[in-house]
A = this chain, B = another copy of it.
């Protein structure tokens, strides 16, 4: 499968971030056509200790690259992207990944 990976650095206001993320952003994203699975992970630490750079990761799975590209062009895909930029544009890193061991 192909996945879009969104990696968020620690937000200044974690409470406001969580509130927007879980109550607004995740529901918008979950509606994207073609989305097969969405896995949200809270980064809770590092094996070396310390809290590290990142706060949260979301992985959005699609059947293949064409499905992902088509999804980004839908109204829902655009709304999710626009929302992400509005509340986390300065702390988000987006990557497209291909699963090796399917």
A residues in contact (CB < 8 Å) with B: 3-5, 22, 38-48, 52-54, 57, 72, 81, 93-101
Please state the number of chain copies in the assembly: 2
Tell me whether A46 and B100 are in contact (CB under 8 A).
no
* A6 closest partner in B (C-beta): B47
Tell me whether A98 and B42 are in contact (CB under 8 A).
yes
A46 to B38, CA, bound (A): 18
Least Cβ distance of A55 to chain B in Å? 10
Tell me whether B41 and A100 are in contact (CB under 8 A).
yes
* A40 closest partner in B (C-beta): B100
* A58 closest partner in B (C-beta): B100
Tell me whether A43 and B95 are in contact (CB under 8 A).
yes
